[in-house]
Structure 1
Amino acid sequence: MPASMPSPSIRIPIELLTPTAFNQFGTVVENPATSPSTKLPVPHRIPPPDSVPANQGFATKYLDVTHMSNLYTLAPSKKPAKAVMNMFVCKPREMRPHEPSMSLPSSWGDLDIEDDEDENGDYERQLLDIGILERHPFTTQTFIPMGLSQQDRHTQYLVVVAPTLPASASSRYSDRPPPYPTPMVKRKKSFKDMFARARPSPFTNEATPPPSLFSRLHPSARPKGPGLPDLKNLRAFVATGSQAVTYGAGTWHAPMIVIGDRSIDFVAVQFANDVGIEDCQEIFLKPNSTAQEGVVVLVDTDSSGTVQVKAGVGSVKARL
């Protein structure tokens, strides 16, 4: 049975999914020439990936559009992983009616989200309860939506993620954090170590990659440590059919969440070794004794059913 941790009463507004905003959690795969990110102010953009002509000049090939990593050499079982592709057919989520609350997310504590209303008053606000988060400790995971147009405003999907707490802080919430890779601590070399460099080492380093391997990875793809999710800094992003998303290895995230009229088919690309606790780890979020409701995402939609961005860059009222 998955572990559980107490959650505060907290409401999270929705942000626009952009490569810059999502950078610490993973990467966003989108066409750099037509993505909404190209219309954002310069400080909120990241340079587009390198590109070259392809297919006899009939295509543009963008290089390394996402960062994939296989960290299974750090797994306790040492069982090697293989690349796998799965499909998730995700149905629209059920939400509950909005109820006023005094709770605010700490990362947007200056945002008056409860009183923020449309000028025409035709926004519908609903509440989405987040009861479970998961992570894939040793692999990135890319979700690619199929059959969903960028112009489709009646069906969208949400990307809900959380930073990782330090291990010391996590011990307050759970006495049995799941196993997780942690980078080797670099210690000072002894005289014995320095002299040992003069001859071939009798030891192998196949079990643990050299520390330099982590420095070559995108920050979101590096090991996150054994900590539990930082619920007070949980983020929620809305994505369109023209965007795929890669969760960095070990990034805490909610299962895929579809909002709207119909299901979305996702192709998921990752590594796996078929050892359950190493491929996926889950944790239940249980409201603590003083919490009114737990972790909730505020979902505002307009008359067409389009999810509204209420925080960060691109918000409805352009407020930070």
Structure 2
Amino acid sequence: MPTSMPCPSIRIPVELLTQSSFSQFGTVIENPAHSTLPPSQRLPLPDVVSANQGSALKFIDVTHLSNLYNLAPSKKPARAVMNMFVCAPRELRPHEPSESMPSSWGDIDFDEDTDGNDDRQLFDVQILERHPFTTQTFIPMGLSQADRHTQYLVIVAPTLPTAASRRNIDRPPPYPTPKIKKSKSIKDIFAKARPSPFTNEAAPPPSQFSRLHPSQRPKGPGLPDLKNLRAFVATGNQAVTYGAGTWHAPMAVVGDRPIDFVVVQFANGVGIEDCQEVALTPDKNAEEGLVVTVDSDASGKVLVKAGIGSVKARL
């Protein structure tokens, strides 16, 4: 049974999934030619070369896979695994006025009148999970970018510092963390001296994690930062990689039909090291808990209400 965590009443708007807006949580994989952003807001293109006798373009390093299982308490090695998730559309509940706090990521009135052609529904976020020692890539299959009737939500949260996690559940974080080796050899002690007696280096060597993208570095044992939870809408031409240890909701499909996802990650078969979950329980004085507000137009396309693309969505 997952650890439970009290949560406030917050309504979260939907943002457009772009690499710049998602960068602290992971990476977005998409063909740059299909980007809906104006050229001025696009990130530099990844390296690209000609391939397949000139019939294809090969984009280099579009996402980064991390295997941090050497930090796991069991020290059991992991292997690369590829699974398929067939994700059915989620049930949304009808919109109703609420006194929930607006999310810090969308300065809008959730109870304002919508356009007569728009439909507003609510998705309750009841659980978050993370994979502390591995990235996890979700690749949708059989879904077109032009499909307006089926999309998916990517719901993520930063990680709280350990001390803040203790305040939220009144006890230390519930999940195992690597044990710190306190006893050090004479060689280890002298190795920290500068200049080093072994190499004459004036500066300490860089951390093994300094070469990793910030989203892929170890997050520590903290619980999710619920007040900064964010929700993004993705189209069929976008895949997403959650950085190692990124708190996220299980994949949430919105629309008419299921989406098949190929999921690539590492795993070592130790349950608590492969996946950790937190059930979200509304505070005793909370009206509803964490809720993503899903607005859609007459065709069923989810509308963007915060961040990049929000103005365009309202035109």
Corresponding residue for 1:224? Answer: 219
Please give the alpha-carbon distance, in whole angstroms, between the structure 2 residues aligned to 1:224 and 1:291. Answer: 28
**1:213 match: secondary structure:** coil
2:202 paired residue number = none
Aligned equivalents of 1:122, 1:318: Cα separation in 2: 13
2:245 aligns with 250
Q: 1:181 to 1:90 in 2, by over 3 A?
A: farther
Given that residues 16 and 313 in structure 1 are in contact (C-alpha distance below 8 angstroms), is that contact kept between their aligned partners in structure 2? yes
Give CA deviations for 1:5-35 in whole Å, capped at 9, x if unaligned.
Answer: 0000000000000010000000000001222
Please report the TM-score for the alignment, with normalisation by the length of structure 2: 0.90
How many residue pairs get aligned? The number is: 303
- SS of the aligned residue for 1:171 comes to helix
In 2, the alpha carbon distance for the partners of 1:181 and 1:45 equals 39
1:232-262 CA distance string (max 9 Å, x none): 1100000000000000000000000000000
Q: Quick one: which amino acid aligns to residue 6 of structure 2?
A: P
Report the Cα offset of residue 111 of structure 1: 2.3
Structure 1, unaligned stretches of length 5 or more?
Answer: 201-209
**Structure 2 counterparts to residues 232-243 of structure 1, below 5 A:** 232-243=227-238
Contact kept? 2:177, 2:221, Cα under 8 Å: yes
Residues 187-206 of structure 1 mapped to structure 2, 5 A cutoff: 193-194=192-193, 198=197
Give the residue type in structure 1 aligned to 2:69: Y
Q: What letter is aligned with 1:9?
A: S
Q: What residue number does 1:315 align with?
A: 310
Q: 2:185 — aligned with what?
A: none
1:7 maps to 7
Residue number in structure 1 paired with 2:34: 34
Pairing 1:37-76 to 2, within 5 Å after superposition? 37=37, 39=38, 42=40, 44-76=41-73
Q: Secondary structure at the match of 1:306?
A: coil
Judged with a 3 Å threshold, the aligned counterparts in structure 2 of structure 1 residues 299 and 74 are, in CA distance, closer, same or farther, namely: same
How much does 1:126 deviate?
Answer: 0.6
Letter in 1 for 2:8: P
Is 1:111 the counterpart of 2:108? The answer is yes
Counterpart selection for 1:264 from 259, 263, 266:
259
**1:122/1:67 CA distance change after superposition, 3 Å:** same
| C-alpha distance 288-61 of structure 1, shift in aligned 2 (>3 A) | same
Any conservation in 2 of the 1:27–1:246 contact (CA below 8 Å)?
yes
Which amino acid letter does the alignment assign opposite residue 152 of structure 1? D
**Distance change in 2, residues 1:151/1:79 (3 Å):** same
Cα deviation code 1:255-293 (max 9, x no counterpart) = 000000000000000000000000000000000111000
- Residue 215 of structure 1 aligns to a residue in which SS? coil
Whole-angstrom CA distance in 2 between matches of 1:246 and 1:60: 21
CA deviation after TM superposition for structure 1 residue 47, in Å: 1.2
Residues 125-158 of structure 1, C-alpha deviations (whole Å, 9 max, x = no match): 1110000000000000000000001100100000
Q: 1 CA distance for matches of 2:243 and 2:165?
A: 20
**Equivalent residue in structure 2 for 1:129, among 101, 113, 124:** 124
Flag the 1:3–1:57 CA change in 2: closer, same or farther, 3 A.
Answer: same
CA positional deviation for 1:316: 4.4
Paired residues of 2:9 and 2:100 also in contact (CA < 8 A): yes
Task: Report the alpha carbon displacement of residue 195 of structure 1 after superposing the two structures with TM.
Answer: 9.6
Q: CA deviation at 1:197?
A: 5.6
Q: Does 2:302 align with 1:284?
A: no
Taking the aligned partners of 2:180 and 2:153, their CA distance within structure 1 comes to 31
Cα shift at 1:105: 3.3
**1:203 corresponding residue in structure 2:** none
Tell me: CA distance 1:180–1:25, structure 2 relative to 1, closer, same or farther (3 Å): farther
SS in 2 for 1:84: strand
Cα drift, residue 112 of structure 1: 2.3
2:137 corresponds, among 134, 142, 147, to: 142
Return the TM-score normalized by structure 1: 0.88
Aligned ranges 1:203-218 → 2 under 5 Å: 212-218=207-213
The Cα shift of 1:181 comes to 5.4
Is residue 105–residue 230 contact of structure 2 (8 Å, CA) maintained in 1? no
Q: Deviations over 1:52-74 (max 9, x none)?
A: 11111110000000011000000
In structure 1, how many angstroms separate the alpha carbons of the residues matched to 2:180 and 2:91?
40
Q: Is the 8 A contact 1:8 1:295 kept in 2?
A: yes
Supply the AA of the counterpart residue of 1:23.
Answer: S
Report the alpha carbon displacement of residue 194 of structure 1 after superposing the two structures with TM.
3.6
Q: Aligned with 2:19: secondary structure?
A: coil
Aligned equivalents of 1:116, 1:180: Cα separation in 2: 48
